[in-house]
Structure 1
Amino acid sequence: MARPLQIGLLVFPDVTQLDLTGPVQVFASLSDATVHLVWKRVEPVKSDGPIVLTPTTTFAECPQLDVLCVPGGYGTDALMEDGAVLDFLRKQARGASYVTSVCTGSLVLGAAGLLEGYRAATHWSAREALPLFGASVSTERVCIDRNRMTGGGVTAGIDFALTLVAQLVDPHTAQAVQLRLEYNPAPPFHSGSPDTAPPDVVAFMEEKIANARARRLEVVKRVTGR
């Protein structure tokens, strides 16, 4: 009997919880998969909102994963310079079938040297960082380049996970999971992308995140020596 798929998602301080919990909800629907929430210690970790998340295993005890996933959030700034995190990702990536991310989690993959020569997606506000890691920017909601699968910002994590389930199992299973979750988006506005949002909304958001965006880019430049 084949062993269950081993799917691991990184949990860390200031993770954007929906980057993590969206894919987890999809993966947890698979009967033949074990989902691991991985961090340095098994103790509660605060997300970027009021939700506290509890890892299920540590770097040291985590089995070899079939799917390695790094979600995003402001906490990724620290991860890009965290040797223990980067070493764990490099070690797991060598044996993983899929190396994946959601949102700015792709920058952490980049910092670990796992996106050089690959196309990758990320949150729209972080796209300028990807070329510094040797990656080509994809504006797709889900980008697939060989065994690298990267999702755009936050809510794209659900699309990413369903896309991956279709590859791991089959499209029928992915569609059944989608139906179970009643994932049938009908947003009240078309402001989910800078390409479709009103200019004043884009300007407002760009001003609001300007400082955080600049800090993140400084970290990327430091990590890459640029």
Structure 2
Amino acid sequence: MTLSFGILIFPNVQLLDVAGPNDAFAAVPGAKVHLIWKNRDLVTTTSGMEIHANTTFSECPKLDVLCIPGGGGVNPLLRDDEVLEFVRRAAASARYVTSVCTGSLVLGRAGLLNGKRATSHWNAVDFLPQLGAIPVQERVVKDGTLYTAGGITSGIDFGLEILADLLGKEEAKTVQLALEYAPAPPFSSGTPEDAAPEIIAEARRRMAHSRQERLALFGAPV
């Protein structure tokens, strides 16, 4: 079975939001992963690494899975009609519509989260109600054929769960083993519930610029 996966990329995309699902999808024999953007120019990710699309909006085939990652570059996408129209068009024929991190804000802006349970990065999940979604603070949230994953590293979990739906748990487990995905973080500080107050404050300070841009766009969350 040949599966077609599409991952949107864009300037200032979070590299791991792309790389995590990409590596899970690409580990499936015969799978085709399309990295999609307006053109094939190099785009610089949040970490400074450069990647480029292998498929443009106009070339994109029908997808089994459409995935929208997040990152600092999400905010401009929320005002980009060309991107939002492509997302609507690709989502209309995809078997699964998915996001990682703040990519769910793009899905919401495209009108694809109305009445749906969804999640996002912990520093952005409170914007989801303004986009019609029912916010859920979990690592991966499934609502029908809509999958949304939380912050950055959850993209691997989400990728494996999608593979289990598409190909069965045995295939997903095989890919998990091939990736040697057995997380054992050195610190218990990966969520606001686990982190110390001073760590949360510093993390918020570092992400304040993106949040201020979203506040200007959406207004304060209710």
Q: How does 1:163-182 map to 2 (within 5 A)?
A: 163-182=161-180
Q: Deviations over 1:61-119 (max 9, x none)?
A: 11011110000001000001101100001111111110000000000000000011101
Query: Which residue pairs with 1:12 in the alignment?
Result: 10
Q: In the aligned structure 1, how far is the partner of 2:158 from the partner of 2:164? A: 10
Q: In the aligned structure 2, how far is the partner of 1:82 from the partner of 1:54? A: 19
Q: In the aligned structure 2, how far is the partner of 1:11 from the partner of 1:204? A: 28
Q: In the aligned structure 2, how far is the partner of 1:133 from the partner of 1:63? A: 27
SS of aligned partner of 1:45? strand
Shift of 1:199: 1.4
Whether the 8 Å CA contact 2:75–2:210 is kept in 1: the answer is no
1:191 aligns with 2:195: no
Percent identity of the aligned residues?
48
Pairing partner for 1:72 from 70, 73, 77: 70
Pairing partner for 1:137 from 135, 138, 142: 135
SS of aligned partner of 1:160? helix
Q: Deviations over 1:132-176 (max 9, x none)?
A: 001011111000001100000000000000010000101000001
What is the TM-score when the length of structure 1 is the normalising length?
0.95
Letter matched to residue 93 of structure 2: G
SS of aligned partner of 1:124? coil
Q: In the aligned structure 2, how far is the partner of 1:94 from the partner of 1:181? A: 31
Query: Which residue pairs with 1:48 in the alignment?
Result: 46
Pairing partner for 2:155 from 154, 157, 171: 157
Pairing partner for 2:60 from 62, 73, 80: 62
Pairing partner for 1:125 from 119, 123, 133: 123
Shift of 1:200: 1.4
Moved over 6 A (4+): none
1:85 aligns with 2:90: no
In structure 1, runs of 5+ residues without a counterpart are none
Q: Number of matched residues?
A: 221
Shift of 1:209: 2.1
Q: In the aligned structure 1, how far is the partner of 2:4 from the partner of 2:76? A: 26
Q: In the aligned structure 2, how far is the partner of 1:85 from the partner of 1:112? A: 9
Shift of 1:43: 1.4
SS of aligned partner of 1:125? coil
SS of aligned partner of 2:115? coil
Query: Which residue pairs with 2:104 in the alignment?
Result: 106
Shift of 1:42: 1.0
Whether the 8 Å CA contact 1:80–1:220 is kept in 2: the answer is no
Letter matched to residue 27 of structure 1: F
Q: In the aligned structure 1, how far is the partner of 2:207 from the partner of 2:45? A: 18
Report the RMSD for the aligned CA atoms in angstroms.
1.4
Letter matched to residue 153 of structure 2: T
